[in-house]
Structure formats: C-alpha cells, structure tokens
Amino acid sequence: MNMEKIMEELIVQNNSKIVMVVMDGLGDIPHKDFDNKTPLEYASTPNLDHIVRESVCGRHIPVFPGITPGSGPGHLGIFGYDPIACTIGRGVLETVGLGVELKHGDVAARCNFATLDAEGVITDRRAGRIATEENRRLCDILRQIKEIDDVEIIIEPGKGHRFVVVFRGQNLNPAVRDTDPQHEGQAPLKAEAVREEAEYTAEIVNRFIDRATGLIKDEHPANGILMRGFSSRPRIPTFKEKYKLEAAAIAAYPMYRGIADLMGMTLLPAPDTIEGLFRTYVQYRNKYDFFFIHVKGTDQAGEDGDFAAKVGVIEKVDRALPVLMDKRPSVLAVTGDHSSPCPLRSHSWHPVPVMVHSEFCGADNTTRFTENQCNSGGLGFFESKYLMPILMANARRMDKYGA
C-alpha cells in the first residue's frame, strides 16, 4: 500500500485552517561579502524569531539529493505530489496561470523576450526585464502569426519579459528541447525533437521562431525570443480529491496561479504587496481550508545574485506577519519550493528550510528561522512530498493508522 492510499483512508475533516507561505527560492548558502551569512541569517526577522520558538523546523529535499528542481517540481513536492511520478511542464503552468484555456493535445511553451546582437548572439536573456506594457505591444505584433501548416498559434503576454505560446492542432507532441541555452554569449538553440513523434512539432516551433524573429528584429531591447518548457496538460488529482480540502491560492505570477489552478485551487486576488497577500487570507479565511500564499521576490533576487534584495523581501514578509497571525491559522508553514542561492544566481540542489507552527507541532530548540538552525530542527531532513502529510497531521486531519 502506497502513501496516497494510506492517506486516502486516514484523512478526516474538521474546521482547521492550514496556511503555507512559500518564499520562492528561499534557501541559500553563506555569502563571503555579507559576513559569510545567508539572507535568512542576515535579515532582521523579529516576528519569525518569535514564531519559530513555538515551532518545529527542518529542511526538505524537493526531488532527491543532488538534483536541482525547476519551479514545477518544487511546488509539486511541497503540495504532496511525487515530482518524479507526476510532471507538469513549465509551459502548461504559465499558460493556465494566464487564464488561457489549454486543451488536451495542445503544446504550450513559456517564452522570454531577449536581446540579440548583430550576429544573433544573446546579450540579455530577459531583454532588460522590459515593462509589461511593452510586452503586450510586442505580443500584438507576434499575433500576426495566426497559423502554421494548419496549426493554430495562440500568444498571450505575461509579466515583464515573459509570454506564452500555445500550438493547437493535430499530431502535436511536447517532447521538444528548449531553445533557451540558459546563458548569454551564445545564439538561441534550434528546437529539436527528443522523440521521433515530436519531429513535426519541432519543425512548427522553428518556423514560428523564424517568423517571430523577423517581425521584431528591429525592436530594442526585445529583438529575439527564447522558448522553453514545452508541455501538454496532464491529468492529476485535485487537492479536493487528494486531501478533502477546499484550497485557495494567493499568487500573482502566472506560473504559480497555473499550478494552483491545475490542482483545483480557487485563485484569489493577489495584491502587489506582501501585506496585501496576507490581508487576502484574512478576508477569505472562513471560506477555505488551505491557503497557498506565494512570494516571488526571494527567487528573483537569488537569480539576480542580489543578496540585499533577497534580505529585503524576507524582511518585508516578517514585517507583514502580524497581519496573518492576527487571524492565526491552525497550522502555519513557512518555506520555499527550492533554493536559489545568490552566489549561484540560479536554482540549486540545496535542501530548503521549513518551519511548521501549530498547537501540536512539538517545538524544538530553534531560535531563528535559518538554514543552519533548521539543520538541527525536529523535522530533520525529509523529501518535500511528505510536507503535506505533516501539515495534515498537525491540523488533526489524519486518523490513526492500524489497530
């Protein structure tokens, strides 16, 4: 009998409230330019320090040791889905999060506007993080490409430099390699089929890129496009089916709204401020059992290598916590989906710090919510997919197993 089957038999319902605050890319490593501390260690966090003394801490491993997860697997893990057995492509997450209808058989890709030099070499993968308004104007230009070889092309702008493309037609397959080399200083890659049945799709993608690049070649700084995360809509159980929870998501970025939508969470308004995110929870507290609150800034700062900015986001979360704790949930988890260390300027394989606060958590001796203190916390090191069972148990939503 596997974990899913056991949980299905043990879950009970009550009026408890579970809140999971996810500071994206939270985990980090010591930085030699900042007293050899991590952002969590460097930040001033009096509210977290107060809560952690009545909490239990540990570190979770998103996939398995040594594997660097994308945001999709990272979130699947903390939501209790096995990221190896269950995969959701980044293109699907971004597309659904933007409110685009995605049919079974469609192929979706997450895209960046990028800057190319005269030789076609990438000088900025994010086109200077152009404004969303500029993104919309450029997407309107690309919408001149309505169809390629009877394959419908659907284009939708996201935030900043990001947008999505959906290919809709017959005989499409998402097994196509990214065209984003993930580094400046080289040309975009050609789309290549990973499997023979995706060769037609790769051909359509390359034809789209050629036409799109021709349309924006005189734009600056966004005169090129990079595509990644080719994927199709999966079939996965919802939170209601899996946990008997009415779940809601408070997330601003399309990708995270997308994964929440695929799991059947209700998408609530997501203001621009962290305090606003917490006030949304307060407003809707009585309507849902589980709240996923997503904070993006920690990941963006980590990927930019901006230590001070990451510290600043952590401190903003800390200052806003009294808003959330004024309507204290039965269980509060504070964690990340993966680590994004500033020295690496990317996602990494490092385990993610996690704090669980509840009346029954069994507090350890942790006095600050940091990587080092979480190393010796009562939860120990565990796979991310076990976080939800821990939260469910703390919410008294799990019955006893066996006689």
- 90 pLDDT exceeds 90? no
* 343-369 pLDDT, tens digit each: 999 999 999 999 999 999 998 999 999
Residues in the chain, total:
403
Give the pLDDT confidence score for residue 1 in this predicted structure.
57
Residue 47, in any domain of the structure: yes
246: its two tokens: 């009415």
Identify which of 263, 270, 355 has the alpha carbon closest to the alpha carbon of residue 58.
355
In this structure, are 253 and 390 located in the same domain? yes
* 27-72 pLDDT, tens digit each: 999 999 999 999 999 999 999 999 999 999 999 999 999 999 988 8
Mean pLDDT of 5-19: 92
Q: 236 pLDDT band (50/70/90 cuts)?
A: confident
- 2 pLDDT exceeds 80? no
Residue 347, in any domain of the structure: yes
223: its two tokens: 């005169």
Backbone φ, ψ for residue 176 (5° rounding): -125, 135
Tell the residue number behind the tokens 């001070």, with chain if given: 308
In this structure, are 220 and 290 located in the same domain? no
In this structure, are 209 and 247 located in the same domain? no
Helices (H) and strands (E) in the chain, counts: 14, 14
What single DSSP character describes residue 247?
A: E
Q: 86 pLDDT band (50/70/90 cuts)?
A: confident
**Across the chain, what does the average pLDDT equal?**
95
Q: Are 41 and 370 in contact (CB under 8 A)?
A: yes
Residue 122, in any domain of the structure: yes
Q: 97 pLDDT band (50/70/90 cuts)?
A: confident
Nearest-angstrom CA–CA distance, 321 and 189: 44
Q: 342 pLDDT band (50/70/90 cuts)?
A: very high
Burial 61-74 (b: 16+ CB within 10 A, else e): bbbeeeebbbbbbb
- 181 pLDDT exceeds 70? yes
Residue 401, in any domain of the structure: no
Percent of the chain with pLDDT over 70: 100
Instruction: Give the range of the structural domain holding residue 31, as residue numbers without chain letter.
Output: 3-86+237-394
* 43-53 pLDDT, tens digit each: 999 999 999 99
* 239-251 pLDDT, tens digit each: 999 999 999 999 9
376: its two tokens: 């010796």
Give the pLDDT confidence score for residue 88 in this predicted structure.
82
Q: Is 313 exposed, middle or buried (0-12, 13-18, 19+ CB in 10 A)?
A: buried
Give the pLDDT confidence score for residue 254 in this predicted structure.
81
Out of 200, 231, 262, a domain closes at 231
Mean pLDDT of 95-115: 92
Our CA dihedral for 394, 364, 67, 390, rounded to 10 degrees, sits at -10
Residue 403, in any domain of the structure: no
Q: 4 pLDDT band (50/70/90 cuts)?
A: confident
In this structure, are 257 and 369 located in the same domain? yes
Mean pLDDT of 75-79: 95
Residue 242, in any domain of the structure: yes
In this structure, are 258 and 360 located in the same domain? yes
In this structure, are 50 and 181 located in the same domain? no
Nearest-angstrom CA–CA distance, 58 and 307: 23
Strand, coil or helix: what is 113? Answer: strand
Out of 231, 246, 267, a domain closes at 231
In this structure, are 371 and 322 located in the same domain? yes
Q: Are 370 and 221 in contact (CB under 8 A)?
A: no
All residues at 6 or more sequence positions from 308 whose CB lies less than 8 Å from its CB, including other chains: none
Number of domains in the chain: 2
In this structure, are 75 and 143 located in the same domain? no
Instruction: Give 69-73's long-range contacts (Cβ < 8 A, gap of 24+).
Output: 69/337, 69/338, 69/347, 70/338, 70/347, 71/24, 71/255, 71/256, 71/299, 71/337, 71/338, 71/347, 72/255, 72/259
Backbone φ, ψ for residue 200 (5° rounding): -65, -40
In this structure, are 101 and 127 located in the same domain? yes
CATH number for the domain that contains residue 28? 3.40.720.10
Identify which of 48, 46, 74 has the alpha carbon closest to the alpha carbon of residue 62.
74
In this structure, are 246 and 389 located in the same domain? yes
* 253-270 pLDDT, tens digit each: 888 888 898 899 999 999
In this structure, are 159 and 116 located in the same domain? yes
299: its two tokens: 């990941």
Mean pLDDT of 76-84: 93
* 284-299 pLDDT, tens digit each: 999 999 999 999 999 9
In this structure, are 64 and 174 located in the same domain? no
- 115 pLDDT exceeds 90? yes
β-strand 224-231 against 107-116: which pairing, if any?
antiparallel
* 295-323 pLDDT, tens digit each: 999 999 999 999 999 999 999 999 999 99
Identify which of 56, 27, 45 has the alpha carbon closest to the alpha carbon of residue 356.
56
Out of 231, 264, 288, a domain closes at 231
Residue 62, in any domain of the structure: yes
- 166 pLDDT exceeds 60? yes
